[in-house]
Copies of this chain bind each other. A is one copy, B any other.
């Protein structure tokens, strides 16, 4: 039996944000949190009930210890964390400021040369490849630097070879690499992918796919043998009010799955809601092997993440079940969990 249901790979950063609606350029306090796309996915899935771990590299310092402890707090295993005890070990940082119409939320990254970018294959123990049912990473890891890209690509190959499912979130970030560079590398990855997350806009612009959205989604399945292609639809009515739903194409039954959107989501903290979607879908997929259930868990987990301060989700199975039930309820619904 596998020790893990899901292992992810990615950088974990210190997130600093001014409390409330204060600005980065003012105030005397930062909220201090941990975050990172692939950690967020592992945490979301762990809360729902999967056994998950994260491969990352942290400075061997009190800051690295803070991050490790937070990871454990979330129920994610620290078995595959690596530590950097060199002199220039550093933890990547990002600063996040909330938005309120007409002010957009904003992010400043300070992640160059972080310990994660020095990760090497040799540090990762060989038994890892057979220890999990699924491996997940994202385009951010591919974009960060040559080294993290090479490690990620090789890990994808090794996990696949060892029989793990591969999940991949394209997560294109224009501030990290060009569309050309990204397209080339992603195309290299796609043949290994079982579950793919890609937005319509990224499909069209960076991936240069054309046609109806459904055709584009189906295209990935056809071209690369992807089992599940997932595309989210977020409508930003204001920084504090979003609608959200998604579409999943399942190649096994050649069907599209969708549901009515969650509307008027009260956005407290939008960061990590995309990763929460991934965690919900992967949970649904790994636990129930049912695209509709995967979609429901993905949508609910993502929607409710927007109401949670910080990158990391905080909703367990019971809560997500309740949210799905309310979303599909017809009559009156109690307004309070008592």
Contact = CB atoms under 8 A, between A and B. Distances in A.
A66 B29 CA distance: 12
Top 8 closest pairs, chain A to chain B, by CB: A106-B337, A100-B266, A100-B307, A24-B62, A73-B73, A72-B72, A25-B65, A236-B335
Contacts of A24: 62-63, 66
Nearest to A114: B110
A27 B316 CA distance: 16
Interface string A237-277: 01110000000000000000000001011101010000000
Contacts of A23: 62, 308, 314
Given A70-B73, A103-B319, 4 more contacts: A25-B63, A25-B69, A102-B323, A103-B307
A104 interface: yes
Given A112-B90, A268-B21, A69 B26 contact: yes
A25 B115 CA distance: 17
A115 to B, nearest CB: 11
B25 A314 contact: yes
Contacts of A25: 62-63, 65-66, 69, 314
Interface of A: 16, 20-33, 61-63, 65-66, 69-70, 72-75, 88, 90-91, 93, 95, 97, 99-110, 112-113, 173, 175, 201, 236, 238-240, 262, 264-266, 268, 270, 300, 303-304, 306-309, 314, 316, 319, 322-323, 326-327, 332, 334-338
B69 A75 contact: yes
A141 B338 CA distance: 17
Contacts of A103: 266, 304, 307-308, 319, 323
Contacts of A31: 28-29
Nearest to A323: B102
A73 to B, nearest CB: 4
Nearest to A310: B26
A77 to B, nearest CB: 10
Nearest to A173: B338
A16 B28 contact: no
